[in-house]
Amino acid sequence: MININIDKKLSEKVNVHIASIEAKVKTKESDKELLELINKKCEEIKENIKFDEVIKLKNILSSRNAYKKLGKDPSRYRLSSESLVKRVVKGNDLYIVNNIVDINNLISLHTCYSVGTYDLDKVKGSITFTVGEENERYDGIGRGSINLENLPVFEDEDGKFGSTTSDSIKAMITNDTTHILMNIIAFEEDENLERYIEYSKKLLERFADATIIDTKITKCK
């Protein structure tokens, strides 16, 4: 299992738990059964959650509070999980990309945590979850330039590549991706993380022909 370090700059301010899955996968177009699962989850969310209730959902609220502790405005730099749930509640369709990205989004809707899935063949060396520095930026997927200052971010030997707001194009999933790291990021202790890992494994095995290499929960020391 690739090692993820949690930087003291982050752990001194917020409580971080990262549930990770490393797997070999086949990236392809999402099949009808997966899309039906996604649609079912979206209908469930629309029926049970009002727009103004989204930021009060437990897992989204804890993540927003973590942003505030780091000095980042969660209303301006919205969590990817919050953006996803709000999109659904407003009745907008999700972007359908490929099976890995679509599974990623389904897990985020299921858990209300930000989930980042990365092409490990594009990641160099060990990974650190840290805090963005002043004047640091990267090109977010479909978002343009993202200001990383005070944002929780993953970095490898070459620099920052993913955050709980928007991932960069550096390690993004493409149709050529075969080796992934999926991270479910919680800013609190959550006894459900092991269950979320099992849920995610089953989706990857069922819809991406995944061979699970390893799973792990990384906590602040």
> Beta strands 179-186 and 114-119: pairing type?
antiparallel
Structural domains in the chain (count): 1
pLDDT tens-place string over residues 112-160: 999 999 999 999 999 999 999 999 999 999 888 999 999 999 999 999 9
What pLDDT was estimated at residue 95? 94
Are the C-beta atoms of residues 85 and 112 closer than 8 Å to each other?
Answer: yes
> Beta strands 17-24 and 127-131: pairing type?
unpaired
pTM of the prediction?
Answer: 0.97
CA distance 76 to 50: 20
Q: Assign residue 205 the CATH number of its domain.
A: 3.50.40.10
> Domain range spanning residue 141?
4-219
**pLDDT reading at 84 higher than 90:** yes
Closest CA to 210 of 220, 218, 219, 200: 200
pLDDT tens-place string over residues 4-13: 999 999 999 9
What pLDDT was estimated at residue 129? 99
- Residue 106: CA count within 13 A, CB half-sphere: 25
CA distance 170 to 168: 5
Encoding tokens for residue 74?
């969660």
